[in-house]
Amino acid sequence: MRTAAVIGTGLIGTSAALALTARGITVHLEDADPDAARTAASLGAGTTEESTEPVDLAIIAVPPALVGRVLAEAQRRSLARCYTDVASVKAGPREAMAKLGCDAGSYIGGHPMAGRETSGPLAARADLFEGRPWVLTPTAETATEVLNAALELVALCGGMPVVMDAAAHDRAVALVSHAPQLVSSLVAARLEHADETAVRLAGQGVRDVTRIAASDPRMWLDILSANAAVVADVLEELAVDLNTAVGSLRALAAGGAEGAEQGAAGIEAVMRRGNQGQARIPGKHGAPPTRYETVVVAIGDQPGELGRLFREAARAGVNVEDVAIDHSAGRRVGLVQLSVEPSAVHQLEAALVERGWDVRD
Amino acid sequence: MRTAAVIGTGLIGTSAALALTARGITVHLEDADPDAARTAASLGAGTTEESTEPVDLAIIAVPPALVGRVLAEAQRRSLARCYTDVASVKAGPREAMAKLGCDAGSYIGGHPMAGRETSGPLAARADLFEGRPWVLTPTAETATEVLNAALELVALCGGMPVVMDAAAHDRAVALVSHAPQLVSSLVAARLEHADETAVRLAGQGVRDVTRIAASDPRMWLDILSANAAVVADVLEELAVDLNTAVGSLRALAAGGAEGAEQGAAGIEAVMRRGNQGQARIPGKHGAPPTRYETVVVAIGDQPGELGRLFREAARAGVNVEDVAIDHSAGRRVGLVQLSVEPSAVHQLEAALVERGWDVRD
């Protein structure tokens, strides 16, 4: 790839343009608002001059409802040899393209799973897609050349390509993005008229649950409109569980042995399902959780013994990730299991032995 | 305060004991599980030996449903002159105490708004309460000496005392803690049986919304049981909004000009209410948001100009918090407004002027 066009210089379009420009590709920038395109150019994302010949790849970075029309218009003026988009839904745009008679062979759907709370070109960053999944939705009609151009785009942006069917994609983003967004807004909406003292008690939990409730309603209306039926399905399933949870709480509040037992079982069940679902979410960079190794130390029964052990580990520069203690060895001694990074095991053992601790094999 | 007792050496009890011990107070540790008390002592939180005379303050750090019984028993053996608890609900324990004939004058309800995902003494930290609200719920019966002992406890732990009525407290924590916890679990529960590919698409948004879904179901069952009716009320209000949102999405999915317009208005309304509610949540340390000042720089129309400006600001060691750009001054020049900490204004202006930028007043 030597040349590209970005249509729509918002957060995503400008970030992709910055990444491509940084890799030496000539990027032509367009936007319905010329100021937005000039701002992107001013950031170093490319040029606002039109290309005199078809570019290798055009990236359509406009709201989902406009993708079909913009693609049809771009194909009409032969803007590029290959086309992709970055819209956060995939089935709707494809239907619109079919209706508008677009050439399906030169297009591949795309959706980089990246974003920020702030929008517009000024929020753009060349590393926005680094390590993030980038969904591609080829069909039987998609030319191999087009798939490869999209794979090159993803690689140049540092993303991780994930090939999916358009409908499966839309269900997936409803589950992991669109429904959570609306639920976060619903939780935050409860605080709109809450007492000032109540809001003062907010801690990290509700702060995390409602962080994305600060998102732009206009942008989200575009996204949710384009995936409305699928999101409604997910939220209706959630509403069933919510009503069950309310019923369980009412049973607990009413007291009475049998009702309380059923209520407790209901609440515990939904929380355990939450544990299971939460555990499936991959870590920040999609990496599997680190496996720690264990260093076992026998400690005496004197007050403060464990505190001293932690201070010694800190002094040795070792981060203790988890700890468990077993008193069953007898009243006078406890076995402490320190979980640490595999690379730190030797260092910690050596430091503790040197300071006179009883390190066990 | 010279002496204290902590009954229940879990996360909260042990953390309070660590903070008090660090301030030179003799802390006597008790737990139904002697190993837990020994572990806390081993961490340096105090001694497992019983006090020979009444301590100044006893801190009851057991699950909400047990507070009444533990207080009654402690008062029977004259453990302390003043009593408080740390349970996350306040009305229920007070009713239990009245039924058990506890002395109301020597007790004051308390609830430090602090916690971690992990529980037990090994997760304890002396600085757990630093800067966090600590609710106290005195009544007309509470002796002034008891209120002052609790205020001293909060101060020694570095917390911020907030006096509230017990019922107002329970409604507040339902809003900012208990209901968000259950909703987080409900969102995470949707992922329990989701396709592996769908889960791979999870980003920071759903990760934040579901972080607390990893919490311990047993501990939360205790908390939710003790505040069940109030939490059910909050969740029923949320369910009404949820059903409205589903209706709006169905209207959007059905198409048709009028329905779509109503659906869009419904979704936008709930998201704007979410914006409002989210904005009321105080920052991490309860501090009001910083007010930034603006530095205005005129830039030319050359590609990359804004990128260079940001790099110069970074080189000057100034963090640009927000940026806005105004192209209306003409085609060849744009005015960039950089928002920075008030203390950084002079530094940034000096650095930019020195490097030849056109800084405006």
To probe the interface with A, which of B28, B249, B328 has the most A CB atoms within 10 Å? Answer: B249
Candidate from B187, B212, B253 with C-beta closest to A232:
B253
* Torsion B177-B180-B184-B189 (CA) sign: positive
Per-residue model confidence (pLDDT) at position A255: 84
pLDDT tens digits along A129-138: 998 999 999 9
Distance from CA of B26 to the nearest CA of A (A): 12
Per-residue model confidence (pLDDT) at position B284: 53
User: What's residue A335's pLDDT?
Assistant: 82
Looking at mean pLDDT, say which of A123-132, A182-191, B198-207 comes out highest: A182-191
Checking if the pLDDT of B228 tops 90, the result is yes
Contact call for B180 and A205, based on CB within 8 A: yes
**Between chains, do B185 and A325 touch, taking CB under 8 Å as contact?**
no
Residue contact B239–A243, C-beta within 8 A:
yes
Residues A44, B304: C-beta atoms closer than 8 Å: yes
- The arithmetic mean of pLDDT across residues A99-108, rounded, is 97
Taking CB atoms and an 8 Å cutoff, what residues of chain B touch A170? none
**Band of residue A331 on the pLDDT scale cut at 50, 70, 90:** low
- Written as six digits, the tokens of A10 are 């918002």
A124 to chain B nearest CA, in Å?
11
Q: Which of A216-220, B107-111, B217-221, B303-307 has the lowest mean pLDDT?
A: B303-307
Q: What is the C-alpha separation between B171 and B174, in angstroms, rounded?
A: 5
pLDDT over threshold 90, residue A116: no
What letter does residue A360 receive in the DSSP assignment?
E
What is the total residue count of chain B? 361
A211 CB within 8 Å of a chain B CB: yes
Query: Given CB atoms, is A292 within the 8 Å cutoff of chain B?
Result: no
| Structure confidence at residue B257 (pLDDT) | 85
Q: Is ipTM > 0.90 here?
A: no
- The mean pLDDT value for B38-55 works out to 96
DSSP letters along B255-281, please?
--HHHHHHHHHHHHHHHHHHHHHHHHS
Q: Please determine, for residue B290, whether its predicted confidence score (pLDDT) is greater than 80.
A: no
Radius of gyration of chain B (CA): 27
* CA B121 to chain CA centroid, nearest Å: 20
Q: Which of A123, A116, A219, A181 is nearest to B278 (CA)?
A: A181
Check: CB of residue A32 under 8 Å from CB of residue A68. no
Q: How far apart are the two ends of chain A, measured CA to CA in Å?
A: 57
Q: Which residue has the tokens 């008690």?
A: A201
Q: How confident is the model at residue A286 (pLDDT cuts 50, 70, 90)?
A: very low
pLDDT in tens, B178-188: 999 999 999 99
The tens digit of pLDDT for each residue in A145-185 reads 999 999 999 999 999 999 999 999 999 999 999 999 999 99
- State mean pLDDT over B134-138: 96
Mean pLDDT across the stretch A243-254? 96
Amino acid in the structure at residue A358 = D
A–B interface: beta-carbon pairs under 8 A: 418
pLDDT score recorded for residue A316: 85
Residue B304 pLDDT level (bands cut at 50, 70, 90): confident
**pLDDT > 60? residue A284:** no
Give pLDDT, residue B331.
57
The residues with which A6 forms a beta bridge, in sequence order, are A29, A59
> What pLDDT, on the 0 to 100 scale, is given for residue B285?
45
Tokens of A131: 């390590």
Q: Is the pLDDT of residue B291 over 70?
A: no
Residue A108 has pLDDT above 50, yes or no: yes
For A296-309, what is each residue's pLDDT tens digit? 898 887 778 888 88
Contacts 24+ apart (CB under 8 A), B32-35: B32/B8, B35/A327
**Residue entry with tokens 């927000």:** B322
- Token reading at B141: 């019966």
Chosen from A162, A200, A218, A240 to mutate, greatest number of chain B CBs within 10 A = A200
Q: How far is CA B82 from CA A3, B105, B157, B221, B224, in A?
A: 76, 9, 17, 29, 27
Per residue in B118-131, pLDDT tens?
778 988 999 999 98
Candidates B39, B270, B306; nearest CB to A43:
B306
Rounded Cα distance between A324 and A333, Å, is 14
Average pLDDT value for residue range A19-40: 96
pLDDT for A106:
97
Query: Which residue from A224, A260, A303 is facing B41, i.e. has the nearest CB?
Result: A303
- The pair of structure tokens assigned to B96 is 């239990």
Is a pLDDT exceeding 50 seen at residue A287?
Answer: no
CA of A1, closest CA in chain B: separation in Å? 21
Residue-level pLDDT at B286: 44
Judge residue A97's burial from the number of C-beta atoms within 10 Å of its C-beta, 0-12 exposed, 13-18 middle, 19 or more buried.
buried
Sorted by sequence, the CB contacts under 8 Å of residue B253 that are 6+ apart come out as A228, A229, A232
The CA distance from B198 to the nearest CA of chain A, in Å, is: 5
pLDDT greater than 80 at residue A196: yes
Contact assignment for A186 to B184 by CB distance below 8 Å: no
What is the C-alpha to C-alpha distance for residues A345 and B5, in angstroms, rounded to an integer?
38
The three-state DSSP-derived secondary structure of B175-231 is HHHHHHHHHHHHHHHCCCCCCHHHHHCCCHHHHHHHHHHHCCHHHHHHHHHHCHHHH
Best mutation target, A192, A278, A311, A339, to test chain B (most B CBs within 10 A): A278
**pLDDT given for residue B341 in this prediction:** 84
Helical residues (DSSP H) of B281-339, grouped into ranges: 305-315
Burial of B307 (0-12, 13-18, 19+ CB in 10 A): middle
pLDDT at B86 over 90: yes
Answer for the pair B115, B177: CB distance below 8 angstroms, yes or no: no
Termini Cα distance of chain B? 57
Task: Look up tokens 């040029």; give the residue.
Answer: A47
B219: contact with A, CB 8 A cutoff: no
Provide the pLDDT for residue A289: 46
- Say whether residue B305 is in contact with chain A using an 8 A CB cutoff: yes
pLDDT of residue B242: 98
User: Which residue has 């002027």 as its token pair?
Assistant: B353
Tokens 């007492």 found at: A195
Q: Per the CB < 8 Å rule, is B186 touching A231?
A: no
Beta bridge partners of A84: A59, A108
Amino acid A117: pLDDT: 65
Nearest-CB residue to B242 (from A235, A252, A334): A235
Of all residues in chain A, the one with the smallest CA distance to B111 is: A201
Closest CA to A18 of A53, A81, A61, A74: A61
Q: Which of B164, B206, B240, B332 is most worth mutating to test chain A (most A CB atoms within 10 A of its CB)?
A: B206
DSSP H stretches of helix in chain B? 11-22, 34-42, 67-76, 91-100, 144-156, 166-173, 179-189, 196-200, 204-210, 217-226, 228-254, 257-280, 305-315, 345-354
**pLDDT band with cut points at 50, 70 and 90 for residue B287:** very low
Q: Hey, CA dihedral for B133, B137, B140, B141, is it positive or negative?
A: negative
A168 by Cβ neighbours in 10 Å (0-12 / 13-18 / 19+) ranks as middle
Residue numbers in A near B221 (CB within 8 A): 264, 267-268, 271
Spatial separation of the C-alpha atoms in residues B29 and B44, rounded to whole Å: 11
pTM, rounded to two decimals: 0.77
Would you mind telling me the total number of residues written for chain A in this entry? 361
Are A157 and B135 in contact, with CB atoms under 8 Å apart? no
Percent of chain B at pLDDT > 70 equals 96
Distance from CA of A328 to the nearest CA of B (A): 9
Q: Measured between beta carbons, which residues in chain A are less than 8 angstroms from residue B39?
A: 306, 325, 327, 334
User: Above 60 in pLDDT, residue A90?
Assistant: yes
Residue of A28, A30, A26, A29 whose CA lies nearest to A1 = A26
The per-residue pLDDT for A212 is 93
Distance (Å, whole) CA A226 – CA B260 = 12
Q: What is the DSSP string of A195-254?
A: -HHHHHT--HHHHHHTGGGGS-HHHHHHHHHHTHHHHHHHHHHHHHHHHHHHHHHHHHHH
Q: Which residue has the higher pLDDT, A51 or B119?
A: A51
